[in-house]
Amino acid sequence: MSDNIPSGPVQVDVRGPRVAAWITTAVLILVLIAAAVSPALATILIAVQAVVFALGALNGPRRSPYGWVYARLVAPRIGPATEFEPVPPLRFAQLVGLAFAVIGFIGFAAGSTAVGVVFAAFALFAAFLNAAFGICLGCKLYPLALRLRPATTSS
C-alpha cells in the first residue's frame, strides 16, 4: 500500500489492513443493527461485505475496495510505512471472512436471521480483534492451513 515496500515476498504497510478492519467492523455492526429492524437490509449489507472479502482474497489487500480507501485517502496523510507484513496470510484472512459472510448471507436470505447474526458476529469479532489489537485471526490460522494443504509431488 506504499511505494516504500521492502524487497522480498510481497508485503504491505501494516496500517492498511487495520484500517480495512475498522471499516469492516463498522459495516458488520451495521449488519447486526439492521438485522434487528430489517433483515432484508442486513442481507444486502452482508452481501456487499462478502464481495469486499472476495475481492481482498482474490486480488490482495492493495486491490481491495478498503485497500483503495487506505491508499488514496489515509496513507498520504499519515506518512511513509515503517512496518510491513506479508500478503498471503492477509488474503487467507479475507477468505475466512468471506466464508463467514457467505454463511451469514445464506442465513439471512433463507429467513434464518439467527444464523445470519451469528456468522456476522463471528466476522465482526475477527475484524474487531484486528482493528483494535492488531490480532489477525485468519493470519494466525494461515500456517495451519498451509500444513493441511495436500503436498505437491514433483516428477
Average pLDDT, the chain: 93
* Structure-block grid coordinates of residue 85: 507484513
For residue 43, the one-letter residue type is T
pLDDT in the model for residue 155: 57
Q: Which residue has the higher pLDDT, 10 or 90?
A: 90
- One-letter identity of residue 45: L
The band of 130, judged by pLDDT with boundaries at 50, 70 and 90, is very high
CB 110 within 8 A of CB 40: no
Tell me the mean pLDDT in the region 118-134. Answer: 98
Q: Which of 8-17, 53-62, 87-96, 99-108 has the lowest mean pLDDT?
A: 8-17
pLDDT at position 5, please?
Answer: 46
Q: What is the DSSP string of 14-58?
A: THHHHHHHHHHHHHHHHHHHHHHH-HHHHHHHHHHHHHHHHHHHH
